[in-house]
Amino acid sequence: MLNNHDITDSDEQSKILTWLSPLEPHLGHNDLRTNRVKGVGEWLLSTKEFRSWKHGDGKSESQKAIIFFTGNLGVGKTYIR
């Protein structure tokens, strides 16, 4: 069980988070969500490789821990839902 500090000083909390990394990748993700066209590329999520990877629990060697989507520039890798 982890022990946690109750950080009431939000400035201190914000300093720690920026110290961990100044980057804010979730902002880019929100833009992608807005620009994604619903339904495009949905078939990828139905592949047996993706479903096996997603529901894997690390207990079986046949379940891959990593899924790598590869393709040339502009095929839509970034917009996979």
Partner 1 sequence: MDSLCDEPREVRDDIVVACFYFDSTAQEEQGAASVLGALLKQVIGCYKWIPEEITDTFQRHKKFVGGRELEIPEIVKMLGIFSSPRHIYFCLDALDECAAPDRAKILLSLKEIVKMSPTTRLFLTGRPYVGHEVRKHFPEGTALISISPRNGDIIHYIHAKLVEDTNSGEMDEEIRERNCEEYSGNCL
Q: Phi and psi for 57 in degrees, rounded to 5?
A: -120, 10
Distance between CA atoms of residues 55 and 26, nearest Å: 24
Binding flag, residue 47, partner 1 (CB under 8 A): yes
- Options 10, 11, 21, 34; binder of partner 1; rule CB under 8 A: 21
Question: What is the CB-side half-sphere exposure of residue 26 using CA atoms within 13 A?
Answer: 2
Q: In sequence order, what are the residues at sequence separation of 6 or more whose Cβ sits closer than 8 angstroms to the Cβ of residue 66? A: 53
Binding of partner 1 at residue 11 (CB under 8 A)?
A: no
**Position 68 contacts partner 1 (CB under 8 A):** yes
Q: State the residue for tokens 């490789």.
A: 49
30 binds partner 1 (CB under 8 A): no
Q: Applying CB under 8 A, which residues contact partner 1?
A: 2-7, 13, 15-17, 19-26, 28-29, 32-33, 37-41, 43-45, 47, 49-50, 52-54, 56-59, 61, 64-73, 75-78, 80-81
